């Protein structure tokens, strides 16, 4: 993978483990020669992941809507900063620019981005790996909910492995590299839906 989109929060939580992990993730991607595509912000985990990558000499591509740029939250130190009109355009640009997606801790916007990446993979709009990095157990309840969706039949067995989960970046990247293509909804027969 040449570039990975990182979905994360623009908040700065009280527990320093989140900011420290975001910086370490950015640094680690840069040290592996993997470019970072992210939301283009300078605040919170967004700013920390970008700063970590930049400090290690990595490529950092930000994608930020004009309204957020105008609110002065854009990270002006990015290798390249794409200014887009809408959040929809932002997410589409993430997909175009990256070879995979990883969600680290974040809030509603992070969930929106993560679920769209999973949904688009399930439908067959992209065939890129989608990872969830469970920093400090942040996503334990979400992982349990995904298991509930699968157990009740709302996530088909052939789609259960779209969302790859690990609590270490090395493990998650290995799973992403090893992921095999899935049978997408648009290629499934009606009786299998």
For 11-38, how does the pLDDT look when each residue is reduced to its tens digit (9 = 90+)?
999 999 999 999 999 999 999 999 999 9
The answer to whether 165 and 132 are in contact (CB under 8 A) is: yes
> Residue ranges of the domains in the chain?
3-192
Using DSSP bridges, classify how beta strands 35-38 and 101-103 pair: parallel, antiparallel or unpaired: unpaired
Helix runs in the chain, H state only: 16-31, 44-55, 66-70, 87-97, 108-123, 140-152, 169-178
**Average predicted confidence (pLDDT) for the chain:** 94
- Please give the model's pTM, rounded to 2 decimal places: 0.93
Percent of the chain predicted with pLDDT > 90: 84
CATH architecture of 3-192: 3-Layer(aba) Sandwich (3.40)
Find the largest Cα–Cα distance for the chain.
52
């Amino acid at each position: 993978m040449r570039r990975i989109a990182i979905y994360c929060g623009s908040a700065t939580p009280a527990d320093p483990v989140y900011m420290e992990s975001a910086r370490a993730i950015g640094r680690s991607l840069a040290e592996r020669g993997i470019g970072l595509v992210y939301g283009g912000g300078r605040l919170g985990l967004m700013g920390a992941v970008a700063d970590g990558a930049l400090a290690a000499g990595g490529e950092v591509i930000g994608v930020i809507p004009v309204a957020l740029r105008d609110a002065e939250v854009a990270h002006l130190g990015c290798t390249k900063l794409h200014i887009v009109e809408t959040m929809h355009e932002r997410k589409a640009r993430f997909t175009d620019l990256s070879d995979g997606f990883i969600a680290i801790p974040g809030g509603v916007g992070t969930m929106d981005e993560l679920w769209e990446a999973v949904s688009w993979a399930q439908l067959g709009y992209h065939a890129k790996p989608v990872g969830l990095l469970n920093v400090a157990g942040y996503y334990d309840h979400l992982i349990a909910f995904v298991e509930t969706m699968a157990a009740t039949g709302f996530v088909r067995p052939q789609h259960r492995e779209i969302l790859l989960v690990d609590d270490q970046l090395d493990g998650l990247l290995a799973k992403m590299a090893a992921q095999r293509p899935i049978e997408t909804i648009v290629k499934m027969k009606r009786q299998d839906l």
